[in-house]
A and B are shown apart, each in its own frame.
Chain A
Amino acid sequence: MSLLELRSVDKIFGGLHAVRGVSFQVEPGTIFGLIGPNGAGKTTLFNVITGVYTPEHGQILFGGENIAGLKPAAIAARGVARTFQNIRIFRTMTVAENVMVAGHHLHNASIAAAMLRTRSYERDEHALGKRAHELLDVLGLADLSGEVAGSLPYGSQRRLEIARGLMLSPRLLLLDEPAAGMNSQEAQTLNEQIRFLRDQLELTVILVEHNMAVVMNVCERIHVVDHGETIAEGPPAEIKTHPKVLAAYLGAQTPEIEASA
């Protein structure tokens, strides 16, 4: 059974049909790319999957359960983590604190226990801090754990968002343009980190990305949308040469995608 399945999902904003009848299935353990030109509806799809928007029509099945219409916190608690296109870290908090925020499920102590600093509270707190450091270590941020998050460079903030998402112990990780603003060296490292995470944490990853070097390199299956509608789906090799994709991206059939990949 697929981990995530969208069944003819529609999202309408007033007169704008932002997503129209999109369906796809994501198998467990895949790195799945969601691409399309600017304004194609990729981020809207992320927002629909994570509950920020409720779709007008269609179903979103996560592990067989329809999650369309649930609140974002409920969907996150079921194991869907995400990052944001316009980085949304908690700027005044430290790097470690940012990650720990997502650790509710590891913290069973009540508010009263926190106020009185009971032993069980401190045990949970310690476990939480330890897990946060492990994840920061994986993303190469362990040395920065005490820094104020807003002071980090751009690329580190993006990695921090991933670490924070992983703290949810997710089954599905949605990355919204993780390579934006990264140079090719950093993007290469990111590719390796995404694969490493998928293997180590048994994750399924969905990636929205404009950097074709990243998409074609790391994704095993790619879904292409344009004007809110599906135009193609397949493995990278097929997508690279798909005439509709080339037309959508370039308006003409110039093989530039191939060149950059």
Chain B
Amino acid sequence: MKRTLIRTAVTAAVLLAIYGLQFGVEAGFTEYVQRIVLLAGINVILAVGLNLINGTTGQFSIGHAGFMAVGAYSAAFIGVKLAGPLHSVLGPGALADAVIFNSALVAAAVLAGITGLIVGLPSLRLRGDYLAVVTLGFGEIIRILFNNATFLGSATGYFGDDPSGLPAYTNFFWVFAWVTAIVVVIHNLTFSQTGRSLTAIREDEIAAEAMATPTTRLKVIAFAISAATAGIAGGLFAHMQAGVRPEDFRFEKSIDMIVMIIVGGLGSISGAILGGIFVAVSLELMRDLQQYRLVLYALLLIVIMIVRPQGLLGTRELYQVFRKRKPSPPAEGT
């Protein structure tokens, strides 16, 4: 009882803090900077989700833009279609918008997760380069499907039923509420028996199997969870602009995500957070060099591989860097 109370209080306090920050950000920064802040939040969700499969589990996927696309289109489409009926029940206003938006995001997560399951089941029997190539292929297949889906606007993209485009539900509060929730949940998962098993798969799959770890099942589950978080990021991304276009989810987008987790350190959640912010900011700084961006990223990756192959943090978390690992105390009663 006490525990539930504390948790509710902490959750409320965090949400309130994000809500308060929203006013600060809206008052203190230009629209341009605000947009970068939102993109950074979305990147953090993408990076933390992708890190679960690429970092913790060691299964290299380079097609995650596909799952982001599934989430973006689902959230956009469902958001638009839910608006009519829900507004007639709840009336116009912030409450109705919040319900519509979050239902659309949850639906986006579920659909992206199911897509992840469908892609993961056959692909995760492969390893290393083979898995990378197959996920790359699936990412492109998903994008090309959207490119040809007439009810979603084909190559022009989906802009909803209203001439002004999709409703702009995405704001500071919702982005960072979802960022916080996803970081906490993925952190809990990573530091649990499941997370230990995923790390064991990365370290030595044969030994993990010999220790009764259901390796294929866990890999597929991790992949689906990772896809679901990309779906939420996609939904948040969709509702911050007028429409969703297939070209937003090209191969380059997947590469951006890979850069985020490699810069921060594969296998580190704090690293993924830093990497997500880094990519959002550096993309803006390099806006004038659009077509040379990939060249610079490639150079950056090469430099990292030479200077610091484990990334900024390696597999450690930020809080572990500042305190030395101390031996855990022996359990009572032994």
Contact = CB atoms under 8 A, between A and B. Distances in A.
Interface of A: 50, 52, 71-73, 76-77, 81-82, 84, 88-94, 96-97, 100-105, 107, 109, 111, 114-117, 119, 121, 124-126, 128-130, 133-134, 137, 142-148, 164-165, 167-168
Nearest to B197: A101
Nearest to A91: B203
Interface string B182-210: 00011011001111110110011011111
A146 B327 contact: yes
A88 B204 contact: yes
Main secondary structure of the interface of B (DSSP, over half): helix
27 contacts: A50-B210, A72-B209, A76-B210, A76-B212, A77-B212, A82-B210, A88-B204, A88-B207, A90-B199, A90-B200, A90-B204, A91-B203, A92-B203, A94-B325, A97-B199, A100-B196, A101-B196, A101-B211, A103-B193, A111-B221, A114-B194, A125-B192, A133-B330, A134-B331, A145-B327, A147-B327, A168-B211
A125 B185 CA distance: 17
Given A88-B206, A111-B189, A126-B331, 18 more contacts: A50-B210, A52-B206, A92-B315, A96-B328, A101-B211, A104-B193, A104-B197, A111-B194, A111-B221, A114-B195, A125-B192, A129-B328, A129-B331, A133-B330, A137-B334, A146-B325, A146-B326, A168-B212
B207 A84 contact: yes
B214 interface: yes
Contact of A102 (B206, B212, B325): B212
A170 B192 CA distance: 23
B106 to A, nearest CB: 14
Contact of A73 (B213, B221, B331, B333): B213
Interface of B: 3, 185-186, 188-189, 192-197, 199-200, 203-204, 206-215, 221, 315, 325-328, 330-334
Contact of B215 (A73, A92, A142): A73
Given A84-B207, A105-B212, A168-B212, A93 B3 contact: no
A148 B192 CA distance: 17
B202 to A, nearest CB: 8
Nearest to B225: A111
A76 B211 contact: yes
B197 to A, nearest CB: 6
Contacts of A117: 188
A73 B332 CA distance: 31
A224 B72 CA distance: 64
Contacts of A124: 193
Main secondary structure of the interface of A (DSSP, over half): helix
A137 B204 CA distance: 24
A137 B210 CA distance: 22
A72 B210 CA distance: 6
B328 A73 contact: no
B325 A148 contact: yes
Interface core residue of A91, A92, A105, A142 (most chain B CB under 10 Å): A92
Contacts of B186: 115
Contacts of A111: 189, 194, 221
A114 B192 contact: yes
B334 A90 contact: no
Nearest to B333: A130
Contacts of A73: 209-210, 212-215
B193 A115 contact: no
Contacts of B197: 101, 104
Contacts of B211: 76, 81, 101-102, 164-165, 167-168
Contacts of A128: 193
A132 to B, nearest CB: 8
A128 B211 CA distance: 14
Given A133-B334, A145-B327, A146-B328, A92 B199 contact: yes
A119 B206 contact: no
Contact of B334 (A100, A134, A165): A134
A47 to B, nearest CB: 10
B330 A137 contact: yes
A145 B193 contact: no
Contacts of B326: 146
Contacts of A148: 325
A76 B209 contact: yes
Contacts of A96: 328
B334 A115 contact: no
A114 B221 CA distance: 14
